[in-house]
């Protein structure tokens, strides 16, 4: 029994090391000078912050982070509000072709993002919303809103209806039941869904690249500016990757208990 457990732990440690090695290598590369980049197997050297200075100060990465936070958090707030209400309505009410409606909502995730770039570009151009927070927030709803509906519907289906019925008998409205009774019971699911939506919006590249240019810039699109006539600036790219992934790692580390509870 002990040997089997040790073997499982060994395989788990090996899998974690394999998954974490690219992040570790990116972190090491971000502290290398440009000359040391020609020695990719060298891990012992004097670290430098030149790459971070070039990425954050010279290329204005700070503005990218602020724009990404605004777009991602706004998208999460809108998707959670609309998606939770829609999931509750689908869960509680019966209407014709209910499953067809659910399938139509989820089918938007079937299409690759590149297939929808042109329609959204035309919409943004028509309504003069290109290169704004609004077009990105609305566009990111294409893949986040159906995800919220799917996740929250499963959480709501696990709740006992007796508490809601008792609250309505006491005079509570349907909206009051949702806010006072239902949401507190699925708060772990809301938190887990919010984190997953934030990660999806934070890492989105295709829509952010084609629908924004100068006024609004996402962190995920900053990588294209490090491809020059001299080649790819791997040091700056690695520094960008570390800065971009750091908020995600901190968020998941702080909220890992709630994330696991919500997903399970």
Could you tell me if residue 70 is inside a domain? yes
For residue 27, being part of any structural domain is answered with no
Q: Is residue 66 part of a domain?
A: yes
**Strand 231-232 to strand 227-228: parallel, antiparallel, or no bridges (unpaired)?**
antiparallel
How much is the pLDDT for 261? 64
pLDDT score, position 19: 87
* 9 part of a folded domain: no
Q: Which residues lie below 8 Å from residue 207, measured CB to CB, with a gap of 6+?
A: 113, 116, 117, 120, 136, 139, 140
pLDDT by residue for the chain (264 residues), tens only, comes to 677 788 888 898 899 889 888 888 888 888 888 878 777 777 778 888 888 888 887 777 888 888 999 999 999 999 999 999 989 888 888 888 888 888 888 887 788 888 888 889 999 889 888 889 999 999 999 889 999 998 888 888 888 778 777 888 778 888 888 888 888 888 888 888 898 899 889 988 889 888 887 788 888 888 777 777 777 788 888 888 888 888 888 877 777 776 666 666
Q: What is the pLDDT of residue 1?
A: 62
Q: Check: CB of residue 220 under 8 Å from CB of residue 61.
A: no
Structural domains of the chain, count: 1
CATH number, position 206: 1.10.3720.10
Helix, coil or strand: residue 39: coil
The predicted pLDDT at position 23 comes to 86
Whether 103 is covered by a domain: the verdict is: yes
- Give Cα 234 to chain centroid, integer Å: 25
Q: Which domain holds residue 99?
A: 61-226
pLDDT of residue 263: 61
Q: In residues, how long is the chain? A: 264
Q: Is residue 240 part of a domain?
A: no
Token pair in block for residue 250: 């901190």
In a domain, 131, yes or no: yes
- H or E segment and range at residue 141: helix 133-157
| Residue 68 lies inside a defined structural domain of this protein | yes
């Amino acid at each position: 029994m002990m040997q089997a457990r040790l073997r499982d732990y060994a395989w788990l440690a090996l899998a974690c090391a394999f998954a974490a090695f690219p992040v570790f290598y990116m972190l090491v590369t971000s502290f290398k000078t440009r000359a040391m980049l020609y020695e990719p197997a060298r891990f012992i050297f004097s670290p430098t912050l030149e790459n971070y200075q070039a990425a954050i100060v010279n290329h204005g990465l700070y503005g990218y982070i602020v724009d990404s936070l605004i777009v991602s958090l706004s998208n999460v707030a809108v998707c959670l509000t609309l998606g939770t209400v829609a999931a509750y309505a689908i869960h509680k009410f019966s209407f014709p072709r209910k499953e067809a409606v659910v399938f139509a909502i989820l089918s938007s995730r079937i299409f690759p993002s590149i297939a929808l770039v042109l329609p959204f570009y035309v919409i943004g151009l028509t309504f003069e919303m290109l290169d704004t927070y609004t077009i990105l927030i609305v566009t990111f709803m294409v893949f986040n809103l159906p995800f919220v509906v799917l996740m929250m519907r499963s959480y709501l289906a696990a709740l006992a209806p007796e508490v809601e019925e008792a609250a309505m008998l006491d005079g509570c409205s349907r909206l009051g039941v949702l806010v006072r009774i239902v949401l507190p019971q699925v708060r772990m699911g809301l938190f887990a869904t919010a984190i997953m939506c934030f990660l999806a919006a934070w890492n989105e590249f295709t829509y952010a690249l084609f629908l924004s240019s100068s006024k609004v810039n996402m962190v995920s699109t900053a990588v294209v500016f490090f491809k020059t006539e001299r080649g790819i600036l791997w040091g700056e790219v690695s520094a960008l990757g570390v800065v971009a992934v750091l908020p995600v790692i901190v968020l998941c580390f702080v909220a890992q208990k709630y994330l696991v509870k919500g997903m399970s």
